[in-house]
Amino acid sequence: MTAPIIAFRDVSKSFKGLVAVSEVSFDIGPGVTALLGPNGAGKSTVLRMLVGLTAPDRGTVSVFGHDPRSNTAVLRYVGLVPQQEGVFPRTRAIDFVRLAAVLNSVDDPDAAARMALEAVELDPDDTRFVDQYSKGMRQRVKLAQAIVHGPSVIVADEPLNGLDPRQRQRLIRIFQRLGAEGRCVIVSSHVLDEVERFGSQVLVLAQGRLAAVGDFRAIRDLMDDRPHLIRLRSDNLRALTSALLARGIVRGVQFTDADTAEVAVDDVALFRRSIAPAARHLDCSLTEVAPLDDDLESVFRYLVAGPGGR
């Protein structure tokens, strides 16, 4: 068994009494790993501890077996794409990336900077300052400075935020390519669909805790398998819900109005297949079928609380 590139062991971190990350443990190896979680879940804190920007209160973080905070030599193998927008004022992309190459002691910083910019599909000879670039281009400049020294670990904090679909696709492709080269690429996101497109390993973080770990498909199945709450509106609601209850398609009904009810469903696929035929069979009209907890927050809440925790 090979040693993981990144290892978190029982890591906790609080800020002024508020727990940001609680007893998180995981290993990460080569390839793309997505860190998924809603805003405020602790993703940025995990990434910042991972590269040594902040120290954990408890537990250990190691990159290639070393503490990235105390052993700055290990940073030679790490590149960070931070979440913040700012880059040095009045700086061209080539100069910004070249600075990163120099500070990483790259032998030929000029050539390395050109190569890194070309790798992210930017023109090294562009004379504009980076703060005149579009957001997508700035993100790619930030990625170029993170890869200019050829690191084995690339950490990107919400790199797809605010990008249009074409730019997102382009960045996702670059991350996939870096992962396919055998590098350890960690990308955080709060958007489920983005993570799906990485086609990667996923760490789900919610309320500072690790809620799920595994292949994206397993996480997606887990999310689909959870109980769902759905609002139904019909002109013959009692008959319809009775039929669904009798057939075990729904496991609970709560009437909120004469023609409206919220039903608890375990197998949402079976429910989708059965609801229209059941209504047709009873000759009643179905005016609303609306999921009430399909947002990410409730998915993460479910993953944290577990099947018995609703």
In the complex, the residues that contact other proteins under the rule CB under 8 A are 48, 51-55, 70, 72-76, 78, 80, 82, 84-91, 96, 99-100, 102-107, 109, 145
Q: Judged by CB, which is closer to other proteins: 75, or 230?
A: 75
Q: Judged by CB, which is closer to other proteins: 99, or 222?
A: 99
Least distance (Å) from other proteins to the CB of residue 8?
Answer: 18
Q: Judged by CB, which is closer to other proteins: 54, or 298?
A: 54
Identify the burial level of 302 via C-beta atoms within 10 angstroms of its C-beta, where 0-12 means exposed, 13-18 middle and 19 or more buried: buried
Q: Is 34 left (phi over 0), alpha (psi -120 to 50) or beta?
A: beta
The token pair at 142 is 């930030």
Least distance (Å) from other proteins to the CB of residue 148?
Answer: 11
Task: Give dist(CA 189, CA 191) in Å, integer.
Answer: 5
Which helix (DSSP H) or strand (DSSP E) does residue 113 occupy? Answer: helix 109-119
Least distance (Å) from other proteins to the CB of residue 277?
Answer: 56
Q: Do the bridges between strand 6-15 and strand 58-63 make them parallel or antiparallel, or are there none, so unpaired?
A: antiparallel
Q: Judged by CB, which is closer to other proteins: 20, or 261?
A: 20
The token pair at 222 is 């887990």
DSSP symbol at 77:
G
Q: Judged by CB, which is closer to other proteins: 87, or 296?
A: 87
Least distance (Å) from other proteins to the CB of residue 30?
Answer: 21
Task: Give dist(CA 45, CA 63) in Å, integer.
Answer: 16
* Identity at 213, one-letter amino acid code: V
Least distance (Å) from other proteins to the CB of residue 211?
Answer: 26
Least distance (Å) from other proteins to the CB of residue 93?
Answer: 13
Contact 309, 298 (CB under 8 A): no
Q: Judged by CB, which is closer to other proteins: 116, or 265?
A: 116
The token pair at 64 is 């290639």
Q: Judged by CB, which is closer to other proteins: 91, or 260?
A: 91
Least distance (Å) from other proteins to the CB of residue 228?
Answer: 39
Contact 124, 101 (CB under 8 A): no
Beta-carbon count within 10 A of 46 CB: 28
Q: Which residues pair with 243 in a beta bridge?
A: none
Q: Judged by CB, which is closer to other proteins: 75, or 171?
A: 75
Calculate the CA 285 to chain-centre distance: 40
Least distance (Å) from other proteins to the CB of residue 97?
Answer: 10
